[in-house]
A and B are shown apart, each in its own frame.
Chain A
Amino acid sequence: MTAPVLSVRNLSKSFGGLQAVSDVSFDLAKGELLALIGPNGAGKTTCFNMLNGQLRADAGQVMLNGTSILGLSPRRVWRMGVGRTFQITATYASMTVRENVQMALISHHRRTWDIWRSASSLHVDEAMQLLKLVGMHEQAERAAAILAYGDLKRLELAIALAHAPELLLMDEPTAGMAPKERVRLMQLTADIVAERGISVLFTEHDMDVVFAHAHRIMVLNRGELIATGSVDEVRNDARVQEVYLGGGTLFEDQAHG
């Protein structure tokens, strides 16, 4: 087995008295789609925030290809090839869809200090290619503020792919979408990452999506990892079943949150 792209050891974070994440350790291999699941408030987003530098961890170690990235600012982590999408989509409301992607490209090509050229004429082709990839090219000229939620999620994916990342952190990439659309978007994501050899860590409440696409699953509960393994292993894990449905039949019912 080759060295993992991302290696996390003993990651912990508390908010006041609340232990939001405790002692989380895992590895993410190249090209792997790893799902981080767990009930609301389990600490998934908190993990993501520590991984991309938005939140300072209390303890632990995070290595990206052998280099420690814990404590770096979000922008440094991004420059090292980590892309991120947010649970609550973060896009520029007063720009068009295309301009949203162009901004990521402009930053990637380090041209944010340019005060002369017109931003909306830079990297147009590259931006359109990315939009095409996620199926948003027809809406390129629309204002991001008026997009449907599912389209915003696609746009975020295009933005996150702009700097050709090695690792993608996707926080609930399909939240707020219709069930059919969820599966389609995740399929799309799976295809893209497979083609480009990107590794993905994602959280998701929709078990259909998780079971259909995750290579491996980790289950977080009250900040602690209670299970890690293949889809079948996790599905049949007694503790996981207890956490999700109080021990009843699991997942066939599509537990939402």
Chain B
Amino acid sequence: MSFYFAQFLTGLSSASSLFLVACGLSLIFGVTRVVNFAHGSFYMLGAYVAYSLVQVVPGSILGFWGSVLAAALIVALVGVLVEMLILKRIYNAPELYQLVATFGVVLLMQDAILLIFGGEDQFGPRAPGLDGVVRIFGEPIPEYDLLLIALGPIVLGVMWLLLNRTRWGILVRAATLDREMVAALGVNQSWLFTTVFFLGSFLAGLGGALQVPRVSINLLMDLSIIAEAFVVVVIGGMGSIPGAFIAALLIGELNAFGVLVLPQATIVLAFVVMAVVLVIRPYGLLGKAETLAHSAGQVELPIRPASTLAKSVAGLLLAGLVVMPFLAGEFAIVLATDVLIFALFAASLHFIMSNGGMVSFGHAAYFGLGAYGAAFVIKYAGGSMELALLAAPLMAAAGALVFGWFCVRLSGVYMAMLTLAAAQIVWSTAFQWQDLTGGDDGLLGIWPSEWAKSKTAYYYLALVLCGGGILAMRRMIFSPFGYTLRGGRDNPNRTESIGINLRHHQWAAFIVAGMFAGIAGGVYVFSKGSIFPDEAAIPRSVDALVMVLLGGVQTLSGPVVGAGVFRLLEDEISRLDYWRAILGAIIIAIVVIAPEGIAGFIKKIAIKAGFERNEEQSS
């Protein structure tokens, strides 16, 4: 009994930590409508800064708490800087662009922290004055945990006072309810957003700083906390701070007790709970329906079959790809195989996201499922490559069938978050179910059949499968099925009122996209000979988003161009020391400077130069 009580307290203390971070994230989302990936980076930064300060100040109570507060303040200022330099420019962009841009900040921050603080795991000292344990029902409870337990409700109370008793708070609440209204009131919106970012980042920094005496400080903290914080914010209802508190308690306790029952599935549990909550309450426990649809960016022009010029370019490209192995070396062939795989992966995301309006932040799930599906056939069924390449799309489609059923019930940010959760379920399963997947060690020795062993033969196999997949999806985009999805994206209301069951079509599209991502994953695993959980992790999902964005969301050839450029670029810069920072900067630059992407840009030029049909821009 007393053991369970101690476990309960452990749950409460982690709930408090989680709440600090989630509360800031929710606050920022509520006001600015930006889903801020970089929030996890602020948390990590807070931990590193506090750790460094604690090293230099004498180990007094004042020194420790002074360091924690100073760290939170420094993080808050960094947050403001990020907001003013980057986010201010993209507040009106579609959420996809915003999310990808904040992920660019994540990459930048990772390398900045690596550069400044070094890459080793750090263990901070205990908090002076709170380094003992208290015995409750005979169980030792760290004093520091008790402090954290108290801190959660205190922060909730302070936030409540701020939001309900100050003019600033009233404006924040008004902005959370209705952004237009604040603008109408003549409030300086820019200033409001910046202050909200200050407070939100402060809370993230504080949350991180407070972890110094508890956990090891490392460079993986950012993505692990952000995934959990997303879950909390989504369960609570995006923008709702009391909701975040309740959800943090739920997840904190779920983790504390889940580890006793299902130690293998602790990460999965949180995401399962989130999925269930969202299906029952599509806007979270205390969230409200979004009052304002997110701006969808520029209105898209009708799609047209490729022009003669575009067809010739595509024909030349294809011819080039066919003869390429005769002209290029092995290295180029391997790289080209990679490009083909990722072009298919990106195209499958483009299919649902651009054409169908279903933003997926977790598309790596299906890439990973395909890859593992193929690997399982080789490892456990003694099957051939051919069989494995059949299993890959089936496994991915099965995953998409299950997750898609949940996801198509939602829309906008909530759908995006649920797709992210689905991907985290896949990733954590791959990570934690060691007996099956080898966990972090992955599955090795998955090689092609004899006939496809040479790099050239495998390249042609990839060309047929990936090229075929891309063309098949392109054909679908022009078909009634594709048009139905497009219609559902343009106007769901109209679609339902001409007798179409939109949800069924979206579900099917989700499965189709998953299937093609699975083929990409299957081809990938044989080209590398191994598979690791990373292939289903957040960065892989972001890769797909970046490729689509880089090529151009509204351009049919976008994903292919994007994948090509992205892969070549990555290949160049990944040899450099700070390649993450460079990649991050490139991502941010694209979002801010060239949101139409490369293919979109080329198309624009071609239209201007008169090579492509022009569409009237205004009536």
Contacts and interface: CB of A to CB of B under 8 A. Distances in A.
Interface of A: 52, 54, 73-75, 78-79, 84, 86, 90-96, 99, 102-104, 106-108, 111-120, 122, 142-143, 145-148, 159, 162-163
Contact of A86 (B489, B493, B499): B493
Contact of B476 (A84, A90, A115): A115
B475 A112 contact: no
B294 to A, nearest CB: 16
CB-CB nearest 7 A-B residue pairs: A90-B494, A94-B300, A119-B483, A78-B499, A92-B490, A114-B480, A119-B480
B486 A122 contact: no
Nearest to A114: B480
Contacts of B616: 142-143, 146
B487 interface: yes
A157 B82 CA distance: 49
A163 B500 CA distance: 13
Given A79-B499, A145-B299, A146-B616, A112 B480 contact: yes
B480 A122 contact: yes
Interface residues of B, number: 35
A78 B619 contact: no
Interface in B282-337: 299-303, 305
A115 B501 contact: no
Interface of B: 299-303, 305, 475-476, 478-484, 486-487, 489-491, 493-494, 496-501, 505, 508, 615-619
Contacts of A93: 299-300, 490-491
A94 B480 contact: no
A78 B498 contact: yes
A146 B497 contact: no
Nearest to A147: B619
Contact of B491 (A73, A92, A122, A143): A92
A96 B301 CA distance: 8
Given A95-B486, A95-B487, A143-B616, A115 B481 contact: yes
B498 A107 contact: yes
Given A93-B491, A99-B302, A146-B617, A52 B497 contact: yes
26 contacts: A75-B497, A75-B499, A78-B498, A90-B493, A90-B497, A91-B491, A92-B486, A93-B491, A103-B487, A103-B498, A107-B498, A107-B500, A112-B480, A112-B481, A112-B500, A112-B505, A113-B481, A114-B479, A114-B481, A119-B478, A119-B482, A145-B299, A146-B617, A146-B618, A159-B498, A163-B498
Given A92-B491, A93-B300, A94-B299, A103 B483 contact: yes
Contacts of B496: 54, 73-75
Given A106-B483, A115-B481, A94 B303 contact: yes
A103 B303 contact: no
Nearest to B485: A112
Residue from A74, A102, A142 whose CB has the most chain B CB atoms within 10 Å = A74
Contact of B615 (A95, A112, A143): A143
Given A54-B496, A112-B480, A117-B480, 15 more contacts: A74-B496, A92-B486, A93-B299, A94-B489, A95-B483, A96-B302, A103-B498, A107-B484, A113-B480, A116-B479, A120-B478, A120-B483, A145-B301, A147-B619, A163-B499
B483 A99 contact: yes
Contacts of A84: 497
Contact of A108 (B479, B481, B483, B499): B499
Contacts of A73: 496
Nearest to A109: B480
Contacts of A163: 498-499
A143 B302 contact: yes
A202 B142 CA distance: 71
Nearest to B301: A143
A107 B483 CA distance: 11
Residue from A91, A93, A106, A115 whose CB has the most chain B CB atoms within 10 Å = A115
A120 B482 CA distance: 11
Contacts of A120: 478, 483
